[in-house]
Structure 1
Amino acid sequence: MFRWYVINTYSGHENKVKQNLEHRVSSLNQSRAVRQVVVPTETVQEMKDNQKVSVEKRTMPGYVLVNMDLNEDSWQVVKGTPGVTGFVGASNEPIPLTQAEVDRLLHREVAQKVPSRAQFTIGESVKVISGPLSDFSGEISEINEDASKLKVLVSIFGRETPVEVGYDQVKKI
């Protein structure tokens, strides 16, 4: 019966272990016993140079998930893979994950994401609090809720200049 198991690896070598294990499974003709190998990751937003960027982060450093039918041969294939230090379980005896744990680790839960609504209105005065134009004040001329951005008319050298900023880069005056 196919179940999900967790294997220990050297931290930082999860993707290499995944490649090695997939290669061993195909070369040792164990593809009927090992279905899938997954490095649990999540996408997070980080600020780099005042820009939001999406970055893949490992949710469980040092661990890899394997969906397999546990038998002596498949156990040996996984255990003998370079970089694998063992299975997670009592006295190195593999213990399968519950379905709830698998869903949580692989982000399969059905989450209703509520889009952030703008608490701003056109014509409202705001102050830019981050970015190259921080401490400038202006008036909102456009709201893009899909991208969570505002177009603010900022007075630079006596001229109204439109500047696009995120919701988190301004505050109401």
Structure 2
Amino acid sequence: MAQTLAGRDQWYVVHVLSGQENKVRENILKRVKAEEMGDVIYDVLVPTERVSEIKKGKKSETTRKFFPGYLIINMHLLDENNQLVGRTWYFIRDTPGVIGFAGTKDRPIPMRQSEVESMLAQMKEREEKVKPKISFEVGESVKV
């Protein structure tokens, strides 16, 4: 799926059941294919990062969501008159596990392009570089 930033095709934050982000993402992607919605829904992301932790003396890497309870979706939701495209709105709203859109009750607010670019860069950086699960700041007190 393409990561489009132009025109009416914008990124939106969708609130989903916490812990169900991947399941809801898969549901949306399956429904996009089954209901031929690929012309209006382009990409569905669960922003994650790789973290390392030591358990019982063994180092392991896991993936952690950095916006738990939210999906970021690139879609065509507003027409040229800035009105909601009902087909897309109801498609997302009727997906099991979706709570709603970020914004007002009846008007989702798209992410600013600068926010999208920052988030995508952050995702790429966090995917490439593993960070410790627990981090400390210089001068912070720790108990051993």
Same fold (TM over 0.5): yes
C-alpha distance in structure 2 between counterparts of 1:13 and 1:74, whole Å: 21
Distance 1:57 1:15 in 2: 12
1:66 aligns with 2:80: no
Residue from 70, 87, 98 that aligns with 1:84: 98
Partner of 1:29, secondary structure, is coil
**SS at 2:31 equivalent:** helix
Mapped contact 2:17–2:98 kept (Cα < 8 A): yes
Aligned-partner residue type, residue 51 of structure 1: K
Q: Which runs of 5+ in 2 are unaligned?
A: 1-7, 78-84, 129-144
Indicate yes or no: 2:100 matched with 1:93.
no
Structure-2 residue corresponding to 1:39: 46
**CA apart distance, 1:65:** 0.7
Residue 17 of structure 1: SS of its match in structure 2? helix
- Work out the CA distance in 2 between the residues paired with 1:99 and 1:51: 41
RMSD between superposed Cα atoms in Å: 2.1
Could you say if the C-alpha distance between residues 92 and 105 of structure 1 is closer, same or farther in structure 2, counting changes exceeding 3 Å?
A: farther
Contact 2:32 2:41 in 1 (8 A): yes
Cα shift at 1:28: 1.4
What are the within-5 Å matches in structure 2 for residues 16-165 of structure 1?
16-70=23-77, 71-106=85-120, 107=122
The alignment status of 1:5 with 2:12, answered yes or no, reads yes
Normalization by structure 1: what TM-score?
0.59
Q: Look up the match of 2:138.
A: none
1:91-132 CA distances to partner (integer Å, 9 max, x unpaired)?
242111112222333325779x9xxxxxxxxxxxxxxxxxxx
CA distance in 2, matches of 1:31, 1:65: 16
Distance 1:103 1:26, change over 3 A: same
Report which of the two has the higher share of helix. 2
Change (3 A) 1:44 1:103: farther
- Structure 1 unmatched ranges of 5 or more: 114-173
Aligned residues: 112
Query: What is the TM-score normalised by the length of structure 2?
Result: 0.70
% identical aligned pairs: 38
Higher relative contact order (CA 8 A, sep 6+): 2
